[in-house]
Amino acid sequence: MADYSELYRNHFTEQMKQSGQYAVDDLSRLEIPADVVNLLSQDMVLQYHIIPVGLEGNRLVLATDTEQTFKMKNKLEGLLGRKVKLLYTSEESLKLGALKYYNIASFKRSGSQHLQNIETDMTPLKGAINTMLQDAARRRASDIHLLPQFRGYRVVFRINGHAYDMTTNHEFTESQMTNVASLIKQMDTSQSADMTRTNMPNEGSFYMTHGGQDIFIRLETLPEGNGVDRLETIVLRLQPQAGRSGNISKRTLDDIGYTEADLNDIKQVLYRNPTGLCIISGPTGSGKTTSLHAAIHYVLDTRQEPLNVIEIAEPIEIYEDEFTQIQIHKADNEGNNLSGEKILEAVLRSDPDIILFNEIRNATDATVATQASNTGHLVFSTVHAGDCIGTILRLLDLDISRTTLLLETKIIMAQRLVATLCPHCRQKHILTKEERKLLTPDEIARCEDKLFEKADSLTAANCQYCNNGLSGRTAVVEYVILNTEIRDILLRNNNFKTIKEVLLHNGFRSMWEKGLDMAMDGRIALSDLIQAVGREEVSKK
């Protein structure tokens, strides 16, 4: 780690000595077997500031001169394919050991300098990254995109579903781009991101605090171009937490944005079904996790019991004090691979009342989920599909018992989040030529003179209520509540037209129809509805 003050180094050294985690003062005095030395390459010694000093059974004992290495223990175990024990030693001791066993004469200049740059020389850059994160939190951005450009990173905030170029507010030059990526990956506390791996995708997560509120941040990086230039596109997703800090309210079904009619239907399904399978679908960022958590809290509130709620997630996005939350952990070694199916099978032996399962991806997931609901549990999960009909077809395509699946499934939902217009500065909207092409004659007649749009940038910036023309986001939802008629049809058919006809016969209304109602009420802009939900080709007859 970098350039400790003498006082801190002495304090940390004493801590390590008292805990039995201190190696000798001079590694060069040890006689380390050649087969142990050969377990690590010279590059790895330089990169991670480690030297192998022995074996305890199958566990490799490593000496390091940086506290940072202790935080990377799991990563090292993954790289080496074995358990690791870490011991602390002095910088001079590590340098002497590296010289004796790896012929590394410039150990400090090569390895320590790299860490020193990250921890000390880059302090202003770390401050700039933190300022960007705090600004995004203040503006309630859901995502930050760092996009490599010729002159440096282009910084984009996504706020209420809209993209805003914030490059002039947060400038990262061309020469800083590689270091920005390294520093952000260093924030990862999940031990998944690798600072040195720039030619492959990385993912990770960490927490930050803004105004006393914890915010969970998911990190994703992608190599830019051919990867040779070591540039990376970075995406950070910000998710404010209620459970960790306790200073904000948990989202309920009532404040997600559902209409009163939709709320009544959804609540009735949850109230009258103590067991079964409830599914929601939608793309990333459509509020699925928030809606599922809100649904579970509704069940907890109505049942008035300390129910055993277990969540299986990848990763855990919303911290919940009332839930037992287990994160899926993938590993090449099957013994260390904690898959969703493995966790779910173990959870069923833990007497759960409610299970929130990350996602039904395949027949194995669907089989375990339906078995869970069939044995007296209420199961919530997601499916990667665009709408309710797509979700149904996806489920019916899985190689599992169609009868069991249909009997256990109680409701299938699909939703999108659409920006809501500020009621104080919104402006009248006249249908464009392109919009008229997407609407039926009846829809055009209904929409005429009833639509609003976001205020122009100057008016919005001067609005004392919003400052940007928008007041948040609302959910546009469609759902299918399975009944006998629908189950009978689905048991015999997976024809798109037939499924759509039976759903319409049972009162199904699509996201488009409900969103159009919201647009005519002035809550959302038609253009935002089109971008979020899309519009099927319609007949003009």
Angle at 290 (CA atoms; ends 285, 291), nearest 5 degrees? 105
Mean pLDDT of 87-116: 69
The helix/strand/coil state of 530 is helix
CA–CA gap between residue 483 and residue 487 (Å, rounded): 6
Nearest one of 363, 364, 346 to 355, comparing CA atoms: 346
Q: Where are the domains of the chain?
A: 6-120, 124-240, 253-533
Cα end-to-end span (Å), the chain: 71
Domain at 6-120, CATH from 3.30.300.160, 3.40.50.800, 3.40.50.970, 3.90.1150.10: 3.30.300.160
Buried b (16+ CB within 10 A) or exposed e, 469-481: bbbbbbbbbbbbb
Longest C-alpha distance within the chain, in Å? 90
451 confidence band (pLDDT: 50, 70, 90): very high
At 321-361, the pLDDT tens digits run: 888 888 887 666 666 677 877 888 888 888 899 999 888 98
Tokens of 133: 């994160």
86: pLDDT strictly greater than 50: yes
pLDDT, mean of residues 184-211: 82
Percent of all residues in the chain with a pLDDT value above 90, rounded to a whole number: 47
pLDDT of residue 107: 54
Instruction: List the structure tokens of 105.
Output: 């004469």
Is the fold of 6-120 the same as that of 124-240? no
User: pLDDT class for 301, splitting at 50, 70, 90?
Assistant: very high
Model confidence at 470, pLDDT cuts 50, 70, 90, reads very high
User: Which is higher by pLDDT, 185 or 147?
Assistant: 147
Mean pLDDT of the 374-392 span: 93
Between CA 196 and CA 31 the distance in angstroms is 31
The 3-state DSSP class for residue 309 equals strand
- Predicted pLDDT at 76: 81
pTM of the model: 0.72
**Rounded CA separation 373/398 (Å):** 17
- Is residue 87 over pLDDT 70? yes
Query: Is a pLDDT exceeding 60 seen at residue 244?
Result: no
Angstrom distances, CA of residue 372 to CA of 288, 345, 348? 21, 9, 7
Tell me what pLDDT residue 216 has: 87
Pairing of strands 452-453, 427-428: antiparallel
Q: Which residues contact 528 (CB under 8 A, 6 or more apart)?
A: 161, 418, 419
DSSP strand pairing (213-223 vs 202-210):
antiparallel
Mean pLDDT of the chain: 85
Top-ranked range on mean pLDDT: pick from 84-88, 114-118, 230-234, 278-282: 278-282
User: 187 falls in which pLDDT band (50, 70, 90)?
Assistant: confident
pLDDT tens readout for residues 126-152 = 889 999 999 999 999 999 999 999 889
Q: What is the pLDDT of residue 383?
A: 92
CB-side exposure of 250: number of CA atoms within 13 Å?
22
Assess whether pLDDT exceeds 90 at residue 452. yes
Q: Mean of the pLDDT values across residues 261-275?
A: 96
Provide the pLDDT confidence category of residue 226 given band limits of 50, 70 and 90. low
The dihedral through the CA atoms of 172, 177, 179, 184 has a sign that is positive
Specify the CATH superfamily of domain 253-533. P-loop containing nucleotide triphosphate hydrolases (3.40.50.300)
Q: What's at 336, amino acid-wise?
A: N
Q: Which candidate, 64, 62, 66, places its Cα nearest to that of 3?
A: 66
Nearest in space to 48 (alpha carbons), one of 199, 198, 205, 196: 196
For range 6-32, the mean pLDDT: 66
Q: Which of 73-82, 210-219, 343-352, 389-398 has the highest mean pLDDT?
A: 389-398
Q: 124-240 has which CATH code?
A: 3.30.450.90
How many C-beta atoms lie closer than 10 Å to residue 385's C-beta?
19
Q: What is the DSSP string of 137-149?
A: HHTT-SEEEEEEE
Q: Does position 406 have pLDDT exceeding 90, yes or no? A: yes
